[in-house]
Each structure stands twice: as C-alpha cells, then as structure tokens.
Amino acid sequence: MVNSLCLALLTSVPLLWFVGESAGMPDPARRDLLMREEASRQTGGLLALTAAEQKLDADLHRLKEQEMAATHFLPALHFFKAKPLIEKSAIYRLLQKMPKGGALHIHSSSLVSAEWLVKNVTYRPHCYICFTWDNSVRFLFSNQQPFPRWDCFYWQLLESLRARIEDNAGFDSSLIQHLTLFTENPDGEYPNQDVVWEKFEKAFIAAAGLITHAPVLRDYIYKGLEELHRDNIMYLELRSGLSRTYELDGTIHDKIWTLKMFQEVTSKFKQNYPEFFGARIIISVHRALSVSEVKAAVTEAIQLKKDFPDVVAGFDMARLYLVVNCLTILYQLAASCHNVIYFGL
C-alpha cells in the first residue's frame, strides 16, 4: 500500500508540473527565439538589412496595412473588378519598380497586351477582318481580297471599314473585347467554366491571324520583351507551338524560320538592354493529338533542341496524356533524349 502510494506520487508530480507549465502562457523569450529561427529559414532570412532597407521594409508594411484596412479589400474582389484598382495601388507601383527574375511558361498568344494588337497592328495596311457566325472575329493580312472559307464568308479591309464607322474608339473597344476575357459583368457572362473556356479559345483563335503575320510577329516579340522589361523582368521562357507564320503574299514559313527570327529579335533586344538575361522557347503542341502525332512532335522537338540549343528550353507535354492515354510511350520518348527538358510530366 505504501509502495503504491509512493509510486503514484512519483508519477503524478512531474505530470502536474508539466500540466501547470503548458496551461500557462508560453515563455515570451522562447516564443521570440522560435519566431526568429523560423524567419531565418526563409529566403533571405539570414541577410542583415541596411538602414535604408529597413526603412523601405517598414514603409512597405505600412502600405500593406493601409490596403488591408481599405473599404474594398482587393483580394476579395473578382479580378476583373480588382485589376484597375490594383494598378493604382501604391504597393503595385512599388513592386513594379523592383528587379525580378524570370517569367516562365508565358503563352505566346498572350505575350503582348490586346490594346497594342488592336491600336497598332489592326491599323497596319492590308489588314482584313471577318465577323463569324458565332459572334467572334478573324483577322488576316493579304495583298488581295481573301477567299471565303468555312468560318469566314466575307472579309472586309479594316481601313475601309473604319472609314465608314463614326465611332472608331468604340469599334476598337469591341475588338479588344474579342481578344480578352474582361467584362464588367463577369458573374453574369461567365456562369460556368465551360463558357469561360469557350471565350478563352475564341480569343486566341481571333488573335492568331494578327500574331502569325511575319512582320507582326517580329514586332510582337520585341514589344513583349519591352513590356516585361518595363516590369523589371529579366528573363523569359515562352511557351509556343511555333505556328506557321505567313507573309502578305501567302508564303508560309516553317518552325526553323520562326526560331531563327526569335533568336534575332532576342539578340537585338539584349543589345539595346544589356541587363536583360535572354529568352528561350518551350515548344508545345495541341493536346488533341494521336499517339503517332505526339511521337512525331517529340522527335521534332529533340531535333530542334539540337539545332537551337540556346533557343529551345524544352518540350511541354502538359495535358497530352489526358488525350493520348499512353504515359508509357511518353516516358519512353522522354528517356530517349537526355538533353531535352520535358515540362508537365
């Protein structure tokens, strides 16, 4: 009996002490040490800030608190409604000036703003437009009246069409709407993901006729690099299917021509902006491909990587397996070349 009582006391006293310690507030010194250790493991956590950097950090924290206390908390708004407010934000303007690394996996069809495409490219000579039956548009550069096709029966020269329109600013705004998803009523116009995806596809198809015109594509890439550089982005990896590029007379260029042109434009941009690191291309293909088409695309990408090692960054296989349903073949192809980087596997 006495032995049992002693054993109970020996086991319960430390337990009561532990409960008493854990039930109270944590030791502030130990908590502060833990927080400092956690902060030191973050990126740049071991760097000692200068007095100027500490002041900037304090100012940035103050601006962040002001935005969090504002009437409209921007992260809680739909992006279409928040975007113009974000662009006016003091934090946004500050971050825009700060140096950054690279923009990776940018889609080639959305490299440049839709405003530039409409207000610059569509005002160039020989630009034709067609309004489709499904409330979309197509563009084409040609030195003669384009022939009708299944999705476009009547092509109009934009220069002549604008001459007949009184409100060209409103007309340009409507063209921009065809090339973007932005709308003042996103909840009403996009009730589900299928509707958004359909508009998304239409926008890219509409822009293709402008972007794939050879003289435009050259300017388009340079303009895209300029827009990225304005945001202090110093490196680009552009996801591109290397679509066929055409001239005014209908001449078609192959993928090798496009890669050489991309290399020339990038080199010229680096000469004008020596601090820019460079740009490369991630080759991609449409996901609705057969097994044989995927194999041919990967084989072609391997060869292009060998021919343009400083231009081709890799091959994008993302989502292909959803259609091909044959991952084994994809991995076999990936293993056949060690010099190509595969994205999306």
Domain ranges of the chain: 56-98, 107-284
- What is the C-alpha separation between 114 and 120, in angstroms, rounded? 10
Q: Which of 13-17, 185-189, 208-212 has the highest mean pLDDT?
A: 208-212
Q: Strands 102-107 and 312-316: what pairing?
A: unpaired
Q: Alpha helix (H) ranges present in 234-314?
A: 255-272, 291-307
Q: Does the pLDDT of residue 9 top 70, yes or no?
A: no
Which of the pair, 188 or 286, is modelled with greater confidence?
188
CA geometry: angle at 155 spanning 154 and 157, to 5°?
Answer: 145
- What is the C-alpha separation between 295 and 307, in angstroms, rounded? 19
Q: Which residues pair with 246 in a beta bridge?
A: 213, 252
How far is CA 156 from each of CA 82, 143, 339, rounded to the nearest angstrom? Answer: 36, 13, 47
How far is CA 45 from each of CA 35, 222, 242, rounded to the nearest angstrom? Answer: 12, 37, 42
Dihedral, CA atoms, 269, 270, 273, 275, nearest 10 degrees? 150
Q: Which residues pair with 236 in a beta bridge?
A: 103, 279
- What is the C-alpha separation between 115 and 121, in angstroms, rounded? 10
User: Residue 72: what pLDDT?
Assistant: 83
Q: Per-residue pLDDT tens for 200-258? A: 999 999 999 999 999 999 999 999 999 999 999 999 999 998 888 999 999 999 999 99
- What is the C-alpha separation between 153 and 150, in angstroms, rounded? 7
- What is the C-alpha separation between 284 and 301, in angstroms, rounded? 9
Q: Retrieve residue 177's tokens.
A: 């709407």
CB-CB contact of 48 with 36 (8 Å): no
If pLDDT is split at 50, 70 and 90, which confidence band does 17 have? very low
If pLDDT is split at 50, 70 and 90, which confidence band does 19 have? very low
Q: Which residues pair with 314 in a beta bridge?
A: 282, 341
Which of the pair, 199 or 22, is modelled with greater confidence?
199
When the candidates are 3.30.1360.30, 3.20.20.140, 2.130.10.30, 1.10.3720.10, the CATH number that belongs to 107-284 is: 3.20.20.140
- What is the C-alpha separation between 52 and 59, in angstroms, rounded? 11
Q: Per-residue pLDDT tens for 254-288? A: 999 999 999 999 999 999 999 999 999 999 887 66
**b/e per residue, 239-277, with b = 16+ CB within 10 A?**
bbebeebbeeeeeebebeebbebbbebbeebeeeeeebe
Q: What is the mean pLDDT of residues 119-139?
A: 95
- What is the C-alpha separation between 172 and 118, in angstroms, rounded? 7
Q: In terms of Cα–Cα distance, which of 296, 314, 297, 295 is closest to 306?
A: 314
- What is the C-alpha separation between 191 and 22, in angstroms, rounded? 51
